[in-house]
Chains A and B, each alone.
Chain A
Amino acid sequence: GAVVSQHPSWVICKSGTSVKIECRSLDFQATTMFWYRQFPKQSLMLMATSNEGSKATYEQGVEKDKFLINHASLTLSTLTVTSAHPEDSSFYICSALSGLPSTDTQYFGPGTRLTVL
């Protein structure tokens, strides 16, 4: 099946620094990728939709200047948390649409645990 990877799997950083998270589709091309955020014992909250070669579409309430998304190729999207603060600590998950006609399934990465001190 289609595989999506994320790097790093966990990161600890100091308040005020920036952190970049990579999302890669390993064996398929993904024109659309999604970034989610998940707080403990809660469901996923869509942050933004990332389309290759164009600007990301952010959900209401998500600061686009704080969460920078770049989808530079059909297999890579990055999320950069700028000037991170403790309240940004969360589990960030990306997903990619396979685009296969038969399934059009959303495949998820394993997630990145961000802790901001």
Chain B
Amino acid sequence: KQEVTQIPAALSVPEGENLVLNCSFTDSAIYNLQWFRQDPGKGLTSLLLIQSSQREQTSGRLNASLDKSSGRSTLYIAASQPGDSATYLCAVRSGNQFYFGTGTSLTVIP
């Protein structure tokens, strides 16, 4: 069974810093990998979707990379802002199943 792990579990950075969130998965036979943002008590907002054939995706200050063979993905956030504070979840899709990581709680300090 696919297992998805995210490190670190929590991260606190001063505003303006660049940061990297990590996601690892045990089974490289994935269809795609998706990064989400979740604000407290809210649903999930999709940030980036990387197909298994792709290496990275970019959207604004966000860049996600995928190394399927090593079972790793990173989410890079440039010039962090207080509004980036949230929990970030990665999820891998294997067939029609989605497996979520445990999340990284990010706090950006003004």
Interface positions of A (Cβ within 8 A of B): 6, 32, 34, 42-44, 46, 49, 91, 93, 95, 103-111, 113
List 7 A-B pairs, Cβ < 8 Å.
Answer: A6-B43, A43-B103, A103-B49, A106-B93, A106-B98, A107-B46, A108-B44
Q: Contact: A34 with B98, CB < 8 Å?
A: yes
Number of A-B contacts (CB under 8 A): 46
Q: Contact: B49 with A108, CB < 8 Å?
A: no
B13-21, B34-42, B62-70 - the one binding chain A: B34-42
* A104 CB contacts on chain B under 8 angstroms: 32
Q: Contact: A44 with B46, CB < 8 Å?
A: no
B89 within 8 A of A: yes
Q: Contact: A106 with B46, CB < 8 Å?
A: yes
B81 within 8 A of A: no
CA separation between A109 and B103, bound complex, in Å?
18
Main secondary structure of the interface of A (DSSP, over half): strand
B28 within 8 A of A: no
Q: Contact: A110 with B42, CB < 8 Å?
A: yes
CB distance from A60 to the nearest CB of B (A): 10
Assess A111 versus B100: contact at CB under 8 Å? Given A44-B89, A103-B49, A105-B49.
Answer: no
Q: Contact: A108 with B98, CB < 8 Å?
A: no
Assess A109 versus B43: contact at CB under 8 Å? Given A43-B102, A44-B89.
Answer: yes
CA separation between A49 and B103, bound complex, in Å?
22
* Leading 5 A-B pairs by shortest Cβ distance: A108-B44, A110-B43, A111-B43, A44-B100, A108-B43
CA separation between A104 and B99, bound complex, in Å?
16
B101 within 8 A of A: yes
> In the complex, which residue of chain A has the Cβ closest to the Cβ of B31?
A104
CA separation between A110 and B89, bound complex, in Å?
15
Assess A46 versus B97: contact at CB under 8 Å? Given A104-B32, A106-B34, A108-B36.
Answer: yes
